[in-house]
Copies of this chain bind each other. A is one copy, B any other.
């Protein structure tokens, strides 16, 4: 039961038997899984006229709880992307009407990005559907395997710093 990643490992073992190829089995599979899940999400969301970046923005605001408002700096930290990318995501979501930027009193530099009613409603729909769908994607593994995998991933991630 071999997959494309085994083929890569075997290629290197054949060509350079002295190279340590064990990490490929973990890291390359993680890359492929990430790509697969990303593509799947992009396809699903495109059919609903949105995209993963916008969903991530709305979900971050939603998860923060009432009043569903955060500063750009907070959003950047929570989303693990640059502040510049947040500006662009917010501009796009604002054009679509999902969020509204509240600027401080005249000329203030600070601002807060807040979910609109429409944005809140959209997010509830999308997240509910997506989580249900993604649950089915991991159910090829038994409950025990899922728990084991979760723990191993957590440990690997924690070990990286």
Residues of A within 8 A of B (CB): 1, 3, 5, 8, 11-12, 14-16, 19-27, 29-38, 62-65, 80, 124, 127-128, 131-132, 134-135, 137-138, 140-141, 145-146, 148-150, 152-160
Contact = CB atoms under 8 A, between A and B. Distances in A.
A157 B33 contact: yes
Contacts of A150: 25-26, 29
Nearest to A12: B63
Nearest to A31: B34
B26 A149 contact: yes
Given A12-B63, A22-B138, A135-B23, A152 B148 contact: yes
Contacts of A135: 20, 22-23
Q: Determine how many copies of this chain the complex contains.
A: 2
Given A23-B135, A34-B34, A149-B26, A156 B128 contact: no
Contacts of A22: 135, 138, 146
Nearest to A27: B37
A29 B160 CA distance: 12
B157 A21 contact: no
28 contacts: A3-B158, A11-B65, A12-B63, A12-B127, A14-B65, A15-B62, A19-B127, A19-B128, A19-B131, A22-B138, A23-B138, A25-B150, A26-B146, A26-B149, A27-B134, A29-B154, A30-B37, A30-B153, A33-B34, A33-B153, A33-B156, A33-B157, A34-B34, A34-B35, A35-B80, A140-B159, A141-B155, A149-B149
